Structure 1
């Protein structure tokens, strides 16, 4: 059997107003971790100041403040400076976001089983939920 130690990893940037995510966002992430859908490997809060500067907080240093006390953050530091800079460009001045490095546990199992049978995922592309819902809604209106 070809069980991988880690499965595919995805960067997820969750924007919010202020300096900390809304309790609903925190609970949604906690639920995904509890249900075994994902494993949070790293997390960084990125803020763009009104002047345009970028400030970061390593969540590893205060997991309970961000609802990730049970997450483990197994690979804290996986989000490199270049990753943080890239995602920070998406932020408007005066806003913040939490950059989550998420291991997709369902995909880990799939990748392990495919490797065992000589197959491999060679491409994958995510379509954001708002886009899918918009397309489905407009198709229903035709």
Structure 2
């Protein structure tokens, strides 16, 4: 069951889906978006045992600011024994994740259902 837990902002929508908090990044993820997203990301990834999905399916542009957000989320989730999953199917963003070495650390899935849908479909906890 989907429940909205935060209002829409220009670059982020936060909602609950199947026991996970989904941070749906939107539009151009650059330094301005990073400043908007970071407080929400910190709140959601700072809870012990949190189950979080970062969904990049609605992202049009993704630069090093977006990478910083992903590395930040991963570090915080590791520190708090949480689960972090990534949804991404955009070829250029996937390439950036591979080049920077983030893809093996946070394996991207093509859809939210691939992460949350069927038992065993998720990549597992960090």
Q: Which TM-score band applies after superposition, normalised by the shorter structure?
A: 0.3 to 0.5
* TM-score scaled by length of structure 2: 0.32
* TM-score scaled by length of structure 1: 0.30
